[in-house]
Amino acid sequence: MRHDSTPPPAHRTRRTEGTRVRGRAERVVSAVLTATHEELGRVGYGALRIEDVAARSGVNKTTIYRRWPTKAELVAASMRAAHDEEEAIDTGTLRGDLLTVVMRTVRTCQTPTGRGIVRMMQMERADPEVEALSRVLRDRRRQRNTALLERGIARGELPADVNKELLLDLVFGGIYARLIHRGEDVSEDYAAAAINTVLAGACAGAARLPNESQQQK
């Protein structure tokens, strides 16, 4: 007989990724992913235990193992779920969209769970699984924010040849430095001023990077 602490055989696993679950199954998935997110914020990735997720969610750990056979898969699903639950942003202006994203990020980082996840990404980056999770989250955020810029370009709020990567680095790099690295508050007025400064420079043509031929001259 298999002990309760041992994950079920691989051929018996049942994935929820890419499927729609309803009723009790949906409640189980939601409870487990929420509990995982909270535990991740509380103890970080290395110390996270399926037993604690089970206790917090009220779901038997064998049920968790059947859906997510590894801790990495469970944490990845939890982070994706938290990202997907965010409301779509469309304020009608690029400035409004960026300000909404920035202030949402500020509020998240100021919660206990948010602080724990930031700490995990800073302190546990040497763990290959943590780095892989961080990379997925960075890519998702980048795609979302790039889409906001492309919408702004389509509305004529930015030059068509603006360097989108540079613009995002300038907006979010300063915010993250103040909020995370220096541990200082980011007010909405501060965020708005930072965004206004970057957008003004971009509209004036300052956010274009020279091409390779120009750099070689």
Per residue in 77-106, pLDDT tens?
Answer: 988 887 776 778 899 999 999 999 999 999
What digits encode the pLDDT tens for the residues 155-206? 999 999 999 999 999 999 989 888 888 888 899 999 999 999 999 999 999 9
State the pTM of this model.
0.75
* Confidence grade of residue 147 (pLDDT, cut at 50, 70, 90): very high
End-to-end CA distance of the chain: 73
pLDDT surpasses 60 at 4: no
CB 75 within 8 A of CB 53: no
CB 202 within 8 A of CB 158: yes
Secondary structure, 3-state, 30-84 = HHHHHHHHHHHHHHCCCCCCHHHHHHHHCCCHHHHHHHCCCHHHHHHHHHHHHHH
CB 109 within 8 A of CB 115: yes
Closest CA relative to residue 36, chosen from 17, 20, 60, 56: 56
Angle in degrees, CA 114, 87, 207, rounded to 5: 80
CB 130 within 8 A of CB 120: yes
Tokens of 47: 């110390």
